[in-house]
């Protein structure tokens, strides 16, 4: 063992955070440890293998979403425009594959996200955004 040994309160906190659905990276940040240490301990405790498939998929989607947001933030506006154009056909086919109820739910979620984003802008940012649209 290279680092400090795990304390009982850290293990109980690890179990609690894992059951709440946090990712390994988020738990590591909370506990002040490396992601590898957290995942290794989760494996040794047998918590990763016992996860139901639905929970595993939810965590994978969440982790992928975080990674995509970080990646998207590093791109220039021109690069984002190119990639968004490439993604649009995939997105359209994904959208069409949903039932009308799912499409309605996705649309409501998208509108709510847009409203949250718009509400977070200052008046200057809104004015600049409106100028770009004209």
| Residue-range domain boundaries for the chain | 75-133
Nearest to 23 by CA among 56, 49, 52: 56
Neighbours of 21 (CB within 10 A): 11
- Listed range (9-13, 64-68, 87-91) with the worst mean pLDDT: 87-91
Higher local confidence (pLDDT), 95 or 25? 25
User: Angle of helix 8-20 relative to helix 24-31, nearest 10 degrees?
Assistant: 140
Instruction: Report pLDDT for 21.
Output: 81
Provide the 8-state DSSP code for 98: S
CB-based contacts of 103: which residues, under 8 Å, 6+ apart? 95
Contact 27, 47 (CB under 8 A): no
CB-based contacts of 83: which residues, under 8 Å, 6+ apart? 75
pLDDT at 1 over 70: no
Instruction: Report pLDDT for 37.
Output: 92
User: Tell me: the pLDDT tens digits for 71-117?
Assistant: 777 878 887 777 666 655 556 666 667 777 777 787 778 778 778 87
Work out the burial of residue 15: count CB atoms within 10 Å of its CB; fewer than 13 is exposed, 13-18 middle, 19 or more buried. Answer: middle
Q: What is the average pLDDT value for the chain, to the nearest integer? A: 78
d(CA 108, CA 101): 11
Instruction: Report pLDDT for 9.
Output: 92
User: Tell me: the pLDDT tens digits for 28-46?
Assistant: 999 999 999 998 998 888 8
């Amino acid at each position: 063992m290279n680092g400090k040994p795990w304390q009982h309160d850290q293990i109980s906190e690890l179990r609690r955070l894992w059951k709440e659905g946090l990712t390994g990276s988020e738990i590591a940040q909370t506990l002040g440890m490396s992601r590898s240490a957290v995942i290794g301990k989760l494996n040794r405790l047998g918590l990763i293998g016992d996860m139901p498939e639905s929970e595993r998929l939810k965590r994978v989607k969440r982790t992928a979403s975080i990674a995509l947001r970080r990646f998207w933030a590093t791109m220039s506006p021109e690069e984002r425009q190119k990639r968004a154009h490439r993604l649009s056909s995939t997105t359209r086919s994904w959208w069409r594959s949903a039932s009308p109820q799912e499409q309605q739910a996705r649309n409501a979620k998208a509108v709510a996200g847009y409203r949250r984003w718009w509400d977070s802008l200052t008046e200057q940012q809104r004015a600049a955004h409106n100028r770009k649209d004209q």
